[in-house]
Amino acid sequence: MFDEIRKSKIVTISLVFVLLSWVIITSIFILFVLNIYSDSSLADVLIIVGILISSLMIVSWIGSYKDNIEASIISDATFHISNVFLILIAFFGIFLNNVIFYIICIITICVIIILYFNVIFSHKDSYIYKGMFDIEFRKALKLDHAGEKDKALEIYQNLSRENKNYPFVYYNMSLILFNKGEYEEALLNVDKALKLESDYHKNIYLKGKILFGLEKYDEALLDIDKALKLEPDYHNALQMKGFILYRLEKYDEALKYTNKALELEENPQLLRLKIYILDELKRYGEELKCCDELIKIDPNNEDNCLMKIDALISLSYEKEALNLINRILEDNENNVEVLNKKAIIFYYKGNYLKALKYLNKSLFCEESNYGTLYLKTLILMGLTKYEKASKYLEKYYSSIDKNNKKQKVLYWYLKRTLYYNLNNYEKALEYCNNCLKVDNKNIDYYLYKIYILRKLKNENEVEKCCKYTLSLIDDKLKINPSDVELLLSKVDVYIHLKECDKAVELLKSIEIGSRDKYSFNYKGDLFEKMKYFEEALENFNKALKIDSENPVFLNNKSDILIKLNRLDESLCAINKALKIIPNYYLSLYNKASILEKLGKYDEALKYYNNAFELNPYDKELQEDRENLLKKIKKE
């Protein structure tokens, strides 16, 4: 801040005028000296010089009343140089054969000498103080740049106590406090800087940045916009606006300002922001290209490769993702983050056993990694091993930072899922509400709440929750009207409200990207709920076309084929799923249902028993098993 010459119109005009004045005065002074030795008349020259020097003195007085550092520098320099020229002219004026000029010159020299003595004796303390202040300030700057922030902060605090009129001290203090995460203190100091310099764009930008740190995004946006009005091409402010709009879930606008910032300066942090935005917009192809750009700029950063892996997974390019993972693991086979990515790929493919294998390897390398423990809990629940899942969930909780809201919410989310699967819906609701207290605009949490309330048979609350969720979805769709996930969620809510006509009309209109297997699967589920079985089958087949060995998709297809009474095809699909995960309870349950319909009761009972042993909490499974036992007893 101290080193930058600010773009103030008054200071710029003053500076230009002063420079021109110095050039003119120097030229006239030389002519003046030459004229003395040629015995020419100098009255006109002295009048012109007097007028110019008077103008110069006026500029210096204007500068002395301006409350900024450049004006003060110009003022001091102008005042002293003006005086020097006046003394020189007065000195040479003594040698003129003119009594009036002789008297004027003697008076001028005396007045200037008196003025200087007055300044020296009356303001000597302030001159000494100003010198000491500058020395201490420069010392603090050096410490700041050397990374010794605490020492620099201590000096800045002392300086601010001695003199409260230096905005750059408050600015630098605020910056250090912000980087230390002490946002409230940083805000107090930047406000002090703004009282002294309200129109300096860096002060305003810093305040916006601090408010962003305090998660006051709307207020932060107002300050960033003010900074951009003063400096439209201020790179940092454009970048910060992108971050704020991203947090406000205004992804299209966020992308616009991020691209503007990238045009001015391409840096890794900005490219990462662009990748996050593109991911939210589900523009995975562009995201992948952006990841490649990032790796070119910063090839040695492993996080960049992990981002590319995520983009490949989103595009269902699992083979390419696994190739990249394996290349990284060749250098370090115990890389926990990369092993976890490998586990995630198999988890998304529905191959829980392979996912578990890589997670166990991760835990062997780092037993208290909260990310690994979270994933293992999730997979164990998918395999209906609830007791083991509960133990790992508590390990996860003991490994997290209790002050980290996101990590805590994930714990509550897992608790909700566990209690829901164990049919303890009251507890599930309690943990779902905990999640919503932290993130009260999360559509998924509201959908989970609707499912829990439905299980509790609380229809009034179901209706209220559905209507509120619809309003949230509509608000988000105003910002991103083509968001497939939001549109599918809206259909889900319509189904809960039993507004099937609206649900079918909307569902049929939703266009899904060719590589989005999860959305095809979700769309199939929604058609199945409304008993549109052919449409459901079509979407499950589209999901399987992208990922032909996903046991979850195969189970869904098998289930629909049972309802369509295409039992042989259904059996073929379920056998394929059982080859991938032999003890997956849903596959065993579906196979039992098929065999029962085929009249193979003894074989069906065997599969019902195997499924029941794995998940005794599934009430539908219990009922179907008991009904088959009754049939067998009758025969």
pLDDT 10s digits, 130-149: 445 567 778 888 888 888 99
Tokens 């629909």, located at residue: 560
Q: Is 556 exposed, middle or buried (0-12, 13-18, 19+ CB in 10 A)?
A: buried
DSSP-assigned letters across all residues of 129-185: HHHHHHHHHHHHHHHHHTT-HHHHHHHHHHHHHH-S--HHHHHHHHHHHHHTT-HHH
Count of C-beta atoms within a 10 Å radius of residue 487: 22
pLDDT attached to residue 1: 39
Closest CA to 89 of 111, 108, 75, 114: 108
pLDDT attached to residue 612: 94
Residues of the chain with pLDDT below 50 are 1-11, 13-15, 18, 36-40, 43, 47, 61, 63-71, 73, 119-131
Closest CA to 513 of 486, 554, 540, 542: 542
**Which amino acid is located at 319 in the chain?**
K
Find out whether 11 and 71 touch, Cβ atoms under 8 Å: yes
In 439-483, alpha helices (H): 443-455, 459-479
**Which amino acid is located at 303 in the chain?**
D
pTM, two decimals, is 0.74
3-class state of residue 150 by DSSP: helix
In angstroms, the CA 119 to CA 298 distance is 58
Find out whether 555 and 578 touch, Cβ atoms under 8 Å: no
Find out whether 495 and 526 touch, Cβ atoms under 8 Å: yes
Reading the block at residue 203, the tokens are 């002060």
pLDDT digits (tens, 9 = 90+) for 358-413: 999 999 999 999 999 999 999 999 999 999 999 999 999 999 998 888 999 999 99
In angstroms, the CA 158 to CA 186 distance is 16
Angle (nearest 5°) at CA 200 between 198 and 204: 75
- The H or E element containing residue 217 is helix 217-230
DSSP-assigned letters across all residues of 330-357: HH-TT-HHHHHHHHHHHHHTT-HHHHHH
In angstroms, the CA 514 to CA 310 distance is 18
Find out whether 553 and 544 touch, Cβ atoms under 8 Å: yes
φ and ψ of 119, to 5 deg = -60, -45
Angle (nearest 5°) at CA 203 between 202 and 205: 60
3-class state of residue 144 by DSSP: helix
Q: Which residues contact 526 (CB under 8 A, 6 or more apart)?
A: 488, 491, 492, 495, 503, 507
DSSP tag of 6: P
In angstroms, the CA 263 to CA 624 distance is 63
pLDDT attached to residue 48: 52
pLDDT attached to residue 128: 37
Ramachandran region of residue 147, left (φ > 0), alpha (ψ -120 to 50) or beta? left
**Which amino acid is located at 130 in the chain?**
K
Q: Is 482 exposed, middle or buried (0-12, 13-18, 19+ CB in 10 A)?
A: exposed
Ramachandran region of residue 443, left (φ > 0), alpha (ψ -120 to 50) or beta? alpha
In angstroms, the CA 223 to CA 208 distance is 5
pLDDT attached to residue 179: 92
DSSP-assigned letters across all residues of 377-443: HHHHHHTT-HHHHHHHHHHHHHHS-TT-HHHHHHHHHHHHHHHHHTT-HHHHHHHHHHHHHH-TT-H
Helix axis angle for 336-348 and 352-365, nearest 10°, is 170
In angstroms, the CA 351 to CA 501 distance is 36
Find out whether 558 and 551 touch, Cβ atoms under 8 Å: no
pLDDT attached to residue 125: 41
Q: Counting every residue, how long is the chain?
A: 635
In angstroms, the CA 73 to CA 529 distance is 77
DSSP tag of 565: T
